[in-house]
Structure 1
Amino acid sequence: MKVFGIAGWSGAGKTTLVERLIPVFTGRGLTVSVIKHAHHGFDLDKPGKDSWRHREAGATQVLMLSNERWVLMHELRGAPEPTLAEQLRVLEPTDLVLIEGYKAAPVPKIEVHRPAHGKPPLWPQNEHVVAVASDAALDCPLPLLPLNDPAAVADFILKYLERA
């Protein structure tokens, strides 16, 4: 599986870019999976529902399925957060895995950077950033991609992965 990351500060537009890239890749016949890393807790379950009650009772894993989808929830229960490599092993084979977040992970990534947000760029301190997608002109030694042109960003990702 080819793996490529999208990184940046909160609110920069990472999720929007990933959301716009997926149909570009799938339109070109590729299968795409996404791993989204969150630095805060999250819950896909609803309090009081059966699966929530099973987890609350102490189950480590709850697998829910229907004729439309399935999901496996895993409670860490104090265990360390799995590494990116461990999470990649859980995924079914696919053509491309887009990683949102995992700023420090050793995978090639595009930084989504908007100078108007007032946050410093990641690329000067992150050797894994191979390009920057922005909505503004930047003084940057890396390839600068138009943030609002997902086809151009997808082209860059595919060309980069061909060389890797």
Structure 2
Amino acid sequence: MKEAPVVAVVGRSDAGKTTFLEKLLKELKLRKIKVGTIKHDVHGFDIDKPGKDTWRHAQAGADTVVISSPSKVAIIKKVPEELSLDQVVAMVTDMDILLTEGYKRSNKPKIEINRTEHSSELVCAPDELIALVTDAEWDIGVPLFGLDDAVGVADLLVEKYNLPK
């Protein structure tokens, strides 16, 4: 099976990464493309609610807790240190493309979201970028897209990664 391309959507805090990703995901799904997402959270997170069965399993000592239903599955695994993006990617299968939110220091190609209201500088060097989504004029040698141009970015991804049309 062909490994799915991984593209990191990056930008400063509050630049609009999640908002743009939502638009891009909807556009890719309209095209029947199987998309996985990986969110990087440097602060840690907890999806287990205290008192729920899975939380109780973890509190009792389980190193990995899996919850499964007819429509979804979640795995909560304790790790001794943060996994690399490649290690997380290896856990996600059967996708046409994987989009990350964050991982701006990864070695993956990136789409940077930049709003002048938040910063006049980019977080990535131009050679790391496959696109820049912005409300400003930049001349850095990469394709520029408006903050609402999910169609244009989807077109770029389909072409660049030979995704299903």
Give the TM-score normalised by the residue count of structure 2.
0.88
Worse overlay, 5-14 or 110-119 = 110-119
SS of alignment partner, residue 127 of structure 1 = helix
State the match for 1:60 in structure 2: 63
Q: Which amino acid aligns with 1:36?
A: K
Q: What do you get for the CA RMSD once the two structures are aligned?
A: 1.6
- 2:10 and 2:158 map into 1 onto residues whose CA distance is 17
Q: Does 1:86 align with 2:93?
A: no
State the match for 1:13 in structure 2: 16
Q: Are the structure 2 counterparts of residues 58 and 109 from structure 1 closer, same or farther at C-alpha, using a change threshold of 3 Å? A: same
Q: Deviations over 1:37-87 (max 9, x none)?
A: 1111111111111111111222110001122211111112xx121111111
Aligned residues: 159
SS of alignment partner, residue 24 of structure 1 = helix
Map 1:66-145 → 2, pairs under 5 A: 66-76=69-79, 79-118=80-119, 120-124=121-125, 127-145=127-145
Alignment gaps of 5+ in structure 2: none
Q: Are the structure 2 counterparts of residues 72 and 102 from structure 1 closer, same or farther at C-alpha, using a change threshold of 3 Å? A: same
SS of alignment partner, residue 127 of structure 2 = coil
Contact 2:115 2:136 in 1 (8 A): yes
- 2:120 and 2:83 map into 1 onto residues whose CA distance is 28
- 1:115 and 1:149 map into 2 onto residues whose CA distance is 17
State the match for 2:48 in structure 1: 45
Alignment gaps of 5+ in structure 1: none
State the match for 1:24 in structure 2: 27
Contact 2:104 2:124 in 1 (8 A): no
SS of alignment partner, residue 73 of structure 1 = strand
Residue 119 of structure 1: how far off its partner (Å): 5.9
Identity of aligned residues (%): 36
Give the TM-score normalised by the residue count of structure 1.
0.89
- 2:129 and 2:42 map into 1 onto residues whose CA distance is 20
- 1:134 and 1:160 map into 2 onto residues whose CA distance is 20
